[in-house]
Each structure stands twice: as structure tokens, then as C-alpha cells.
A and B are shown apart, each in its own frame.
Chain A
Amino acid sequence: MQIRINIALKKAVLDIQGKAIEVSLNKNLGYSQISNVRQGKFVDIEINETDQENIKNIVDDICDKLLVNKIIEDYSYQILKN
């Protein structure tokens, strides 16, 4: 099963890289109608599991222990089309 884990800064945290991108889009590409740009990351994994409960437990555990810093980041995940 192919899983995509999406990791982003929490809304309350200032995303300075997102802000830098936003300024470039507004000023250099002229898209003044674009705002609230936030940059996250995704981690794709292939997991040898089909049971949804097991997958959720594993994803939660690896996010908790490594992939996500819970002080400043949130995550979600989705199953990619096989």
C-alpha cells in the first residue's frame, strides 16, 4: 500500500518560507490575488500492510517518533492509488 504523509507547520506558527514564496508570487510574478502561502512537505512510504487500523497505528507511531515535530507541525495521510 502506498501512503502519502503530508506534514505542515501548524496554522499558529509563522511560516517564513511560505511568506517568502508569497512575496515572490505577488511581486515578481504579479499575482496579487494570491495570499496565505504555506510550504509543507510530504513523505511517501510503501507499507506491507492492508489492514487500515494497522496502517493508521504505524503511521501515527512513525509520525510521533520521527516524521513530525508535534510542537510546530500537524500531519495527515492518504492512501495513494496503487
Chain B
Amino acid sequence: MKSAVITFPGSNCDRDAVIALQKFSSKVQRLWHNETSLDNDLDLIVIPGGFSFGDYLRSGAMASISPIMQEVKRLSQKGVRVLGICNGFQILTESNLLPGVLMRNQKIKFICREINLRVENNDSDFTKKYKNRQIIKIPIAHMDGNYFAEPNTIKNIEDKGLVAFRYVDENGNVSDDSNPNGSIFNIAGVFNESKNILGMMPHPERAVDNNTGSSDGNLMFESLKSLF
């Protein structure tokens, strides 16, 4: 699997993404946000977490019009997989590659802790190695993770099974208490219609080693690797 991780000014989770991918990917390129031409044989593009452009104006807004995003759009239309993590999810929504928007956390606090996610749809290249409805522990670290979309958009996402992950309690129940940021219907990650693009607020690349608390993120990268 040939993958690439994009670095924007202010991205700070790019190295973690590279290290996580190196266990699973034969070649991991690091790309600067001003690149205007990407290799056509890329299998996976990762847009990492961090504070691209300082989160100025709106998180992910300025990154979404960086030159490289035209290439990301072009390749995603050809079926290349794109994984947006945290700030990467924000960049994907601002780019209109994913529906909805990530707003300020409901309690207006930066939240940094491990949460429980339920795998809502394991019929995707990103989640096929997970069991359906599996509960996994993944860390979050964000201020603007409150997922919102208009009612018609949410209905479309839910009806088509495009919710990838939901925040749940240890028993797998969706509850207000298990929702760290106020996201509508506890949505933590969504796919695009063809499910080759996934955006998620939690950090799977920070859950690939039990020494750092959880290795539940491994199955995502194994799912992707198994395709190649």
C-alpha cells in the first residue's frame, strides 16, 4: 500500500500518522501543502490532526484551499482512499469532500481523553477488520469537534449508513454522557457516499501501541492494508 501524509503549516499529528502507517504501508510519502501534483498510484492519503493555519478564521478553512487539496479532490474522485483525522476531518468538511461542519465543543472546553467508539459500519475499506458494533478505545484531543449538519443532510447520512463511528459508553450505549463535544447523534466520524473518504475526530494513529493506552486503531490500518 502506497500512502501519503500531508503537512499544512500548523499540522502536528503528521509524524504520528507516518509512524502508524509505516507498520502497514510499504511506502509513506510526506507531502507539503503547496504540492500541486501527486502520484497517481497513491492508495491512501492521510490528512492529519493539528492546528493548520492556527485554526484561524475556522478550523480547516484555509487549509481547504491550499493547492494540494485540488489534487486530493482529483484523486478521491478516482477512488483513492482519503483519511482525515481531527483537523483532517475539519479540512475535509470545509473542502466539501464530506458533508457537515465541525463546530466548537458544546462545553467550550478542549477535551483530551480516551473515549469509547462504536463501529457503526464495518462495510468499508477502513473498518472491515472490525466487528460490526465493536466498541473500541481511541483518544480524542480537540476544541472544535461538535459535528453538525442540516436535517436533510443528517437524514441522508444516517439512511445510507454513512456514519462510521459514534461516541458511546463502555456498554456501547449512545448517551449524552458519552458524547464529549455535543455532536449531533453522537457522530464521531462519517464516510462520503462512495465510502472511499473517511473523516473522524478521534485519533486512530494514537491507538496503535498498548504502551500509549490502546492498540484499537491497528485494525483500521490493517483493514486498509488488506486491500493491497
- Which residues from chain A sit less than 8 Å from chain B, CB to CB? 13, 16-17, 20, 65-67, 69, 71-72
Bound CA–CA A52/B109 (angstroms): 42
- Residues from chain A with a CB closer than 8 A to the CB of B227 are none
Per the 8 Å Cβ criterion, residues 138-168 of B in contact with A are 148-150
Per the 8 Å Cβ criterion, residues 81-136 of B in contact with A are 94, 100-101, 103-104, 106, 108
Does the CB pair A17–B104 fall under 8 Å? Answer: yes
Smallest beta-carbon distance A9→chain B, Å: 9
Does the CB pair A69–B94 fall under 8 Å? Answer: yes
- Residues from chain A with a CB closer than 8 A to the CB of B101 are 69, 71-72
Q: Select B148's contact among A17, A65, A67, A71, beta carbons within 8 Å.
A: A71
Does the CB pair A66–B61 fall under 8 Å? Answer: yes
Bound CA–CA A18/B94 (angstroms): 23
- Residues from chain A with a CB closer than 8 A to the CB of B149 are 71
- Residues from chain A with a CB closer than 8 A to the CB of B148 are 13, 71-72
Bound CA–CA A19/B45 (angstroms): 39
Q: Select A66's contact among B62, B103, B104, B150, beta carbons within 8 Å.
A: B62
New contact pairs (4) apart from A66-B62, A71-B101, A71-B148, CB-CB < 8 Å: A20-B108, A66-B57, A69-B58, A72-B148
Known: A71-B100, A72-B148. Is A16-B94 also a contact (CB below 8 A)? no
Q: Select B150's contact among A16, A17, A69, A71, beta carbons within 8 Å.
A: A71
Bound CA–CA A64/B14 (angstroms): 29
**Per-residue contact bits, chain B 33-73, to A (CB 8 Å; 1 contact, 0 not):** 00000000000000000000000011001100100000000
Does the CB pair A17–B108 fall under 8 Å? Answer: yes
- Residues from chain B with a CB closer than 8 A to the CB of A69 are 58, 61, 94, 101
- Residues from chain A with a CB closer than 8 A to the CB of B150 are 71
Bound CA–CA A65/B104 (angstroms): 21
Per the 8 Å Cβ criterion, residues 170-216 of B in contact with A are none
- Residues from chain A with a CB closer than 8 A to the CB of B94 are 69
Does the CB pair B103–A72 fall under 8 Å? Answer: yes
Bound CA–CA A16/B62 (angstroms): 23
Q: Which residue of B lies closest to A70 (CB)?
A: B101
| Sampled A-B contacts (7; CB under 8 Å) | A66-B57, A66-B62, A69-B94, A71-B148, A71-B150, A72-B103, A72-B148
Bound CA–CA A72/B94 (angstroms): 12
